[in-house]
Amino acid sequence: MPMLKKLTIVVLCSWLAACASTTQNSVSGVQRHQFLLLPTSTVNQMSSQSYAQTIQEAQKKQTLNADKALLNRVKTISNRLIAQVGVFRPDASQWKWEVNVEKNDQLNAYCMPGGKIMVYSGLAEKLKATDDELAAVIGHEIAHALREHGRERMSQAYVQQFGLQALASLIGGNMGTIAAQGAGMGSQLLFALPNGREQEREADRMGLELAARAGYNPEAAVSLWQKMTAANQNSQPEFLSTHPSSTNRIKDLQALTPKVMPLYLAAKAK
């Protein structure tokens, strides 16, 4: 069989095998198929190593979990959100979740692949964020992890960097080599590649539903984004550098709120 034909078949097979939705459909209506070439285990290992390094650096600077009251507050909110992740993917309930707070003025938070959460104190201190608003941020970041957006971005970058020969090797069974090459890109891709517009929309929608199911008012998502935008009129807050706020984004959240409000009311009634 000519090499070009073989490669074409390899690419098609790889594409079909890698296209799937990482989460179950729910009220938020997120069910897009994703291109997920790299193994979950490879990405999670990379993220765990990067998270551990971040923890070590914060410990050296004595900025890790310095405010015990804020840490307890963030953990309480996060744990209520984590308790709801099974709605989207049952396996996530068994992830080795971690929650930490770093003393940092940046308006930022993230959840690494596999459930490693970090919240910067600036969100609470500068924005004077309510629990409902913090739930909106943390829920948004948890949604990124549930949807494996980091793995999706890295898979796309991997194909761009290594091309058809890598795909052929993958189908040929050289997974160890492929995984090693993917890992060689390091955690840089986890942070350097911004989430796409559709990924952000998915995180907004799923995060809103997570917050509602956990008993946090979904209406707080709108006030949260408004606070972040107003916090710095001259330049975007760090959290918004890859999370562009827009009228359409607010409208989308407002349109979804009535759909998830019954979930919030049911949670509050328990």
C-alpha–C-alpha distance, residues 46 and 32, integer Å: 25
The Cα 158–Cα 160 span in angstroms is 5
Nearest-angstrom CA–CA distance, 156 and 150: 10
For residue 93, CA distances in Å to 79, 80, 82, 115, 138 come to 11, 12, 7, 10, 16
Cα distance between residue 214 and residue 266, in whole Å: 10
What sign results for the dihedral spanned by CA atoms 27, 242, 85, 226?
A: negative
Q: What is the rounded distance in angstroms from the CA atom of residue 65 to the CA atom of residue 69?
A: 9
**Residue 125 bears catalytic tag:** no
Residue type, 158: Y
Active-site entry in 141, 152, 200, 219: 141
- Spatial distance between the Cα atoms of 134 and 137, rounded to a whole number of angstroms: 5
Structure token pair of residue 195 = 């989430």
Residue 129 half-sphere exposure toward CB, CA atoms < 13 A: 34
Are 168 and 15 within 8 A, CB to CB? no
Rounded to whole angstroms, the Cα distance separating 55 from 53 reads 5
Residues annotated catalytic, as ranges: 141
